[in-house]
């Protein structure tokens, strides 16, 4: 025979409910709402929706980039890049999009979620240490680490030349050091997928009249090596995502600085600043990209202004969900 397990009219069927929320700058793309945060704020969910409609969100969290080092200096590392696209969403995510784990298909409920947008690190303006690392960005429990600051010219030789670890690592200065000397570590603290890459290393040891520095790491590519009297490092490339409805690249590493080089070394795609050379000043990481600042140059005669590293770019947080 038959056992009745459920019954009802069509009108009794589950009604699709969708996420509704406030906070940040809100735009619409088809059936999706996009909340963009350029500074700290709150993402407030007024309705958590249901599985028949929507009850999860996609997110992008990019931290502030690291500042470049001082005088023939390492480029700043890019801020950490973390992204997770809801399984039901259709935009083109970056290669670093999470496809599993507790933060994939991020569920939301009727509550307020803090959003922190990290500032970029300050480029070093005097000898005595690396550039300042960028600040963390976060959405709820998802945290991206600030990029590592780029190493500075050591005088006398010291650990000042070493770049700092971070979301992506800061570059290292080549200054009569044992070769190879590694740049700052990336993906620190570790996440899966990785939130960034290490800086480039120095690959030769050269005379004291030549100083070159490696670049900061980017979201998808490690920084480049400094190679003696040939060139400095080009910043590591960032990651491209269409979470905001059009493709944008974030989290590029800063280029390395030098006292002489064929051309200033560019920052990585995704807002990385260019490294300085001779009288060419290092540039800053682009705001709200998490790009690392360029490493300072080695002009002769010296100039404190042009020796200075570029500041890192501030981060960004973007949240996206189906609303109808």
Cα-flanking dihedrals φ and ψ of residue 106, to 5°? -60, 115
Are 59 and 43 within 8 A, CB to CB?
no
Cβ burial, residue 100 (10 Å; 0-12/13-18/19+): exposed
Q: What's the rounded Cα separation, in Å, for the pair 266 and 288?
A: 18
Angle in degrees, CA 140, 143, 144, rounded to 5: 145
Segments of the chain assigned E as strands: 19-22, 25-29, 32-37, 41-48, 56-62, 81-84, 97-98, 106-107, 112-116, 137-139, 142-144, 173-174, 212-213, 239-241, 248-250, 316-322
Look at residues 98, 239, 70 and name the one whose alpha carbon lies nearest to residue 168: 239
Whether the bond between 277 and the residue before it is cis, its omega within 30 degrees of 0, is no
Please report the sign of the dihedral spanned by the C-alpha atoms of residue 168, residue 94, residue 194, residue 37: positive
Angle in degrees, CA 193, 236, 90, rounded to 5: 45
Residue 35: other Cβ atoms inside 10 A: 22
Please give the structure tokens belonging to residue 308.
């200075």
Close Cβ partners of 264 (under 8 Å, ≥ 6 residues apart): 255, 274, 275, 276, 277, 280, 294
- Which pLDDT tens digits describe the chain residue by residue (324 residues)? 888 887 777 666 678 999 999 999 999 999 999 999 999 999 999 999 999 999 999 999 999 999 999 888 899 999 999 999 998 898 999 999 998 887 888 999 999 999 999 999 999 998 878 999 999 999 999 999 999 999 988 765 566 678 999 999 999 887 655 556 788 999 999 999 999 999 988 765 544 445 678 899 999 999 988 765 555 568 999 999 999 999 999 999 999 888 766 667 889 999 999 998 877 889 999 999 999 999 988 765 555 567 899 999 999 999 999 999
């Amino acid at each position: 025979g038959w056992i009745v397990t459920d019954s009802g009219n069509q009108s009794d069927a589950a009604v699709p409910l969708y996420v509704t929320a406030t906070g940040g700058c809100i735009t619409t793309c088809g059936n999706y709402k996009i909340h963009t945060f350029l500074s700290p704020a709150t993402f407030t969910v007024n309705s958590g929706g249901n599985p028949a409609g929507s009850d999860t969100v996609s997110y992008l969290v990019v931290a502030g980039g690291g500042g470049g080092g001082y005088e023939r200096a390492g480029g700043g590392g890019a801020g950490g890049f973390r992204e997770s696209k809801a399984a039901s969403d259709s935009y083109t995510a970056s290669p670093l999009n999470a496809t599993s784990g507790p933060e994939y298909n991020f569920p939301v409920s009727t509550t307020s979620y803090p959003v922190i947008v990290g500032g970029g690190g300050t480029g070093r303006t005097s000898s005595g240490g690396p550039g300042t690392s960028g600040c963390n960005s976060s959405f709820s429990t998802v945290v991206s680490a600030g990029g590592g600051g780029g190493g500075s010219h050591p005088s006398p030789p010291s650990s000042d030349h070493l770049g700092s670890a971070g979301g992506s690592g800061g570059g290292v200065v080549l200054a009569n050091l044992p070769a190879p000397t590694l740049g700052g570590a990336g993906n620190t603290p570790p996440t899966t997928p990785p939130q960034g890459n290490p800086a480039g290393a120095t690959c030769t040891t050269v005379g004291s009249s030549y100083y070159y520095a490696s670049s900061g790491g980017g979201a998808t590519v490690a920084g480049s090596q400094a190679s003696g009297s040939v060139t400095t490092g080009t910043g590591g490339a960032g990651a491209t995502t269409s979470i905001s409805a059009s493709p944008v690249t974030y989290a590029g590493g800063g280029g390395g600085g030098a006292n002489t080089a064929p051309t200033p070394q560019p920052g990585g795609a995704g807002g990385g600043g260019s490294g300085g050379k001779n009288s060419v000043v290092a540039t800053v990481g682009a705001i709200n990209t998490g790009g690392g600042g360029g490493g300072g140059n080695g002009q002769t005669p010296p100039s404190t202004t042009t020796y200075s590293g570029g500041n890192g770019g501030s981060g960004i947080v973007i949240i996206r969900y189906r609303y109808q």
